[in-house]
Each structure stands twice: as structure tokens, then as C-alpha cells.
Structure 1
Amino acid sequence: MSERALLCHMNILLADGSTADSTRAAGKPARLNIGDGSLSPAFEAQLAELHVGDRHSFTLKPADAFGEVNPDAIHHLDRARFAADMELKPGVIISFAGPGGAEIPGIIRDVAGDSVTVDLNHPLAGHTVTFELEVMQEL
């Protein structure tokens, strides 16, 4: 498949119907690159026939969306590794330095004594999600 991109407004809905994310809320459409390997084959298959003005809704299982929860991405870190004034409580998102200077968000899952449990999985990993797309532009 040749590479192309779609600029889409997108809502991501959880199984209970709640909105996990919306590009409309941010006022900035998402660029979806087709054919470069950044999207799962199942996601790309849903985009193949879409053009400007199209609206499309589809549901993907975790493996085809944001992946399954990887237990190797959950880390138990010593409290001393964090700034003394940093608020460490479940639900707080902290940015970590990744390979090549990329930032990786981690969610604090638990704090017990001097042990801080940090989850580096995507926040939507393990969830079946529904995507509602509106194609704004073909690139």
C-alpha cells in the first residue's frame, strides 16, 4: 500500500461509552499516516476507503488499538528517584526520558512506603475502544 495521510477529527470511546480522548476538545485534528507502520493493520484497514467529508465509526480490540497491558512496563521505583517536592499519588502522570530523548509518560499506580509503582503502558492499553472519525483533509 502506498503511503498517504488523513487529517481527522477523532473521538475515542471506551466500552462504557465514555470519551477517553477527543481531538475536537483540543481543537486540533489528528494526522493518521497510512502505510508507514505507525498504525495497526486493523486500524489501517478501516481507513483504506475514507476520503474528505467521510464519517466512520469502528471498534478495535486492545491488540489492534493501543496494545495489551505489558507487565514488563510496570516498574517499582525507589521514592529517592523522584524530586522531594513531587506529588506522588495514584493517577499522577510523570514524564520519563526515553531512548533518543523521547518523553515517555508514566502513571503512578501505587505508593507504598519508599516504593512507587509506575505504569509505562499506554493509558488505553488493554481496552477495547471505539473510534469515531471525520476526515477533514487528505495529505
Structure 2
Amino acid sequence: MTVKMANETVKNSKVITADSEVLMHFSIKLTDGSAVDSTKVDNKPAKFVMGDGSLTPGFEECLLGLTEGDSQSFTLAPESAFGLPNPDNFHYIELSKFSSDVPAEIGTIISFTQPDGNEIPGIIREIVADSVTVDFNHPLAGQTVTFDVDVLEVL
């Protein structure tokens, strides 16, 4: 993990700990610099509790010890970010299960309903004859990402 200091710690600020509630802006970028997600687009900072599952442990580890007013940039390997692709998350679905309303097209992300009623996104990776390969891994699995944060408040 690479850490770049963007500014110095503000005196008398609250420090992020393992059970802190945090309000922050963040951006996630790929190695080519393209932005994947950012709370700054709509100027709506994210609010979460450390350890609540909103962020992966790798992202949370970057935040520990930061204080209000800190701005930092972290580069995370796939294992610390969204993980590596799991081959068990590739499924093969018959082409006939798709419709003209929801056609199977390579690169398309489609929401699939699980047996418990929850929705899960899948990416169409390949179509061979009557078989469609759907990838249910996180779309950023296997990617090195840069995580930029601006800690607004530690509640």
C-alpha cells in the first residue's frame, strides 16, 4: 500500500478508530486515472461506521489514525481493495433465459434475482452457442485502485 500525505493533521481533531462514525468525501480511481466512484460528483459525503461492512477491511485500514481535515491518497492492490476474481462466481445460463427486454450482450451488467429475492448484478462476459457466461464477481475484482479521501468529520 502506498500512502501520500496531502496535508498535515489538524490539531485537536478526532482520530478515526475501529469503531468511529465517519463523514468523508472519497473517490476511487483505476490505474489509468479514470474515476469509478466519487461522492464529490453530487457533493454528498459518505457517512458510515467503521466495521459496519460498508467498506472492505483494506479500505478501513487506510482510514485508521486519520483525523478530521486529513486528505490522503492510498493505492490498494486487488487483495486489499475488492479482491481477486473468484472462478466460482462465473455461472453459465442458457441464452433462452434472456429476452428482448433484457438481451444478453457482452459487457452488459444485468440484475439477477436470487432464490431469496435479493438482487445481484452480473456482467455478461461471453456468449457461445446457447450458453451465456455471467460473472458475479465485484466489477472491480482484480483491479488496483487509488482511494482518495477527505475526512470531514469523525463523529
- Give the alignment's TM-score, normalised by structure 2: 0.77
- 1:32–1:126 CA distance, 2 compared to 1 (3 A): farther
**2:139 equivalent in structure 1:** 123
Paired letter, 1:29: P
Are residues 1:46 and 2:58 paired? no
Aligned mates of 2:45, 2:121 — CA distance in 1: 21
Aligned mates of 2:66, 2:30 — CA distance in 1: 23
Q: Within 5 Å, give how 1:66-85 maps onto structure 2.
A: 66-85=82-101
Aligned mates of 1:105, 1:115 — CA distance in 2: 18
- 1:43–1:106 CA distance, 2 compared to 1 (3 A): same
- 1:2–1:62 CA distance, 2 compared to 1 (3 A): closer
Q: Within 5 Å, give how 1:13-32 maps onto structure 2.
A: 13-32=29-48
User: Which structure is higher in helix share?
Assistant: 1
* Secondary structure in structure 2 of the residue aligned to 1:64: coil
- Give the alignment's TM-score, normalised by structure 1: 0.85
Q: CA deviation at 1:123?
A: 0.7
Are residues 1:61 and 2:67 paired? no
* Sequence identity (%): 51
Aligned mates of 1:121, 1:2 — CA distance in 2: 27
Aligned mates of 1:48, 1:130 — CA distance in 2: 17
Aligned mates of 1:63, 1:99 — CA distance in 2: 29
**2:124 equivalent in structure 1:** 108
The structure whose Rg is larger is 2
Q: Which runs of 5+ in 1 are unaligned?
A: none
- 1:66–1:26 CA distance, 2 compared to 1 (3 A): farther
Aligned mates of 1:104, 1:36 — CA distance in 2: 20
Aligned mates of 1:47, 1:2 — CA distance in 2: 9
Q: Which runs of 5+ in 2 are unaligned?
A: 1-16
